Amino acid sequence: MTRPYLQMTQEELKQEYAAVCAAYENAKSKNLKLNMARGKPGREQLDGVSDILTVLSDAADCFDDGLDVRNYGELMGVPAARRYFAELLGVRPEQTFIGGSASLQLMFDTISKAYTHGLLHSEKPWSKLERVKFLCPSPGYDRHFKITETFGAEMIVIPMTAEGPDMDMVEKYIQDPDVRGMWCVPKYSNPGGVIYSDATVRRIAAMKPAAKDFLLMWDNAYCVHEFDGDFVPFEDILSLCAAAGNPDMPFEFASTSKITLPGSGISVMAASEANLAYMQKLLTVQIISFDKVNQLRHVRYLKDKAHTLEIMKRHAAVLKPRFEAVLYALDTNIAPLDIAKWNRPKGGYFVSVDAMSGTAKRTLALCKEAGVTMTGAGATFPYGKDPQDSNIRIAPSFPPIEELRDAMEVFCLCLRMAALERCMNA
């Protein structure tokens, strides 16, 4: 019976439920242990770039323009690494700071410093303010939301559209001086896979927030991460903001975590020179420099943007069939039933499923029971609370493709069971 559940009679729903339950019990009996929880590259991707390990192989390799990267110093990063990321992001090398293995750490640190010391244009540290509000386009990245949550910011859900965050709503909220910032993943947003439209990006750059120290957290995590089709160019948010009179509003972040090895990549924070000069004073208390050998290793391996895009094509060849497997399962098993919607991204690491309202938690509980681990329900919303209990993030990159197909079989069964239970109780 493959027709929309909402058109079925209660009797038909019951029959369908019995059939789906039987299939589910059968799947459960296989004692699966499958994981689609995190945007982790799979083994094949890692093997494909592990030649990075030997790029620097002796002492003589460790010099960049006379600088011995093995020793202390150069807080801002190896100059060659600053030039590399500058080209990748379309900014100037002087606008970059090179970090360690995680851009998440640079993001955390930026917010942390806003709280402990304040930003360049802050009147006082945010910890001394009565309240701090932060705009959170949702569904979004759970780890972003956890950062603003841990510092006690009041998070405001901004709905995502096909063009990016709902800018009418954003422009309304930023008139409130307590609204101090906003999270953005401008390209292949996590999890919706949305590329912000030019119009949206320009509206963001031209915002006139009441808070003078408004912090635009621009996480360009998937800036070169197409798995289907050619590289999609993006505009430099620093230039756009500067042109609109907001030079110190944006902090942009990126990393090589999904270009080379996630456990040992390098990261970048790009911001106005005034912002970096301010941050440098604070950072110098904290660290002498991040790992410069690894910075140079990455530059020698990735070379430049053109070569990086070639490497991304190799990742794409591994990733594309995985996304196709996910979409095939959804198109075949779920589309005819009209119980969920999903995106068809061409880059990034996720498929975002909007299940029938009120069924996401139940779906994922059923998955878990059958040995399929997914990102927790609600994780894509601030405080882990999806008001519709609908959004589910699928991360297809890690499992071997046969396991992914098995996991999607189970996931579709669970989605159906949860929808049927909802329809039967309606």
Q: Which residues bind its own copies (CB under 8 A)?
A: 38, 40-41, 43, 46-47, 50-51, 53-54, 56-59, 61-62, 68-73, 100-102, 104-105, 108-109, 112, 115-117, 125, 127, 143, 146-147, 150-151, 257, 261-264, 282, 285-294
Query: What is the identity of the amino acid at 91?
Result: V
| Contact between 187 and 234 (Cβ < 8 Å) | yes
% helix, strand, coil for the chain, step of 5 = 45, 15, 40
135: left (phi over 0), alpha (psi -120 to 50) or beta: beta
Closest distance between its own copies and the C-beta of residue 99, in Å?
9
| Contact between 392 and 414 (Cβ < 8 Å) | no
- Cβ count within 10 A of residue 303: 13
| Contact between 96 and 80 (Cβ < 8 Å) | no
CB-nearer residue toward its own copies: 246 or 289: 289
Closest distance between its own copies and the C-beta of residue 259, in Å?
13
Q: Which residues contact 249 (CB under 8 A, 6 or more apart)?
A: 207, 209, 214, 215, 216, 241
Euclidean distance between CA atoms 359 and 356, whole angstroms: 6
CB-nearer residue toward its own copies: 105 or 333: 105
| Residue 138: φ, ψ to 5° | -135, 145
| Residue 389: φ, ψ to 5° | 45, 55
CB-nearer residue toward its own copies: 3 or 70: 70
| Contact between 334 and 371 (Cβ < 8 Å) | no
- Cβ count within 10 A of residue 278: 19
Closest distance between its own copies and the C-beta of residue 112, in Å?
6
Closest distance between its own copies and the C-beta of residue 216, in Å?
20
Closest distance between its own copies and the C-beta of residue 51, in Å?
8
| Contact between 409 and 27 (Cβ < 8 Å) | yes
Closest distance between its own copies and the C-beta of residue 358, in Å?
29
CB-nearer residue toward its own copies: 170 or 395: 395
Of 218, 209, 214, nearest to 189 by C-alpha is 218
CB-nearer residue toward its own copies: 100 or 191: 100
Closest distance between its own copies and the C-beta of residue 58, in Å?
6
CB-nearer residue toward its own copies: 58 or 402: 58
Euclidean distance between CA atoms 244 and 223, whole angstroms: 22
CB-nearer residue toward its own copies: 38 or 320: 38
Closest distance between its own copies and the C-beta of residue 371, in Å?
19
Euclidean distance between CA atoms 304 and 214, whole angstroms: 33
Closest distance between its own copies and the C-beta of residue 25, in Å?
31
CB-nearer residue toward its own copies: 289 or 352: 289
Closest distance between its own copies and the C-beta of residue 38, in Å?
7
Tokens describing residue 186: 């401008």
| Contact between 34 and 410 (Cβ < 8 Å) | yes
Task: Please report, in angstroms and rounded to a whole number, the separation of the first and last CA atoms in the chain.
Answer: 20
CB-nearer residue toward its own copies: 285 or 306: 285
Q: What would the DSSP string read from start to end of 27-52?
A: HHTT---EEESS-PPPHHHHHHTGGG
CB-nearer residue toward its own copies: 41 or 164: 41
Closest distance between its own copies and the C-beta of residue 165, in Å?
23
CB-nearer residue toward its own copies: 43 or 313: 43
| Contact between 14 and 1 (Cβ < 8 Å) | no
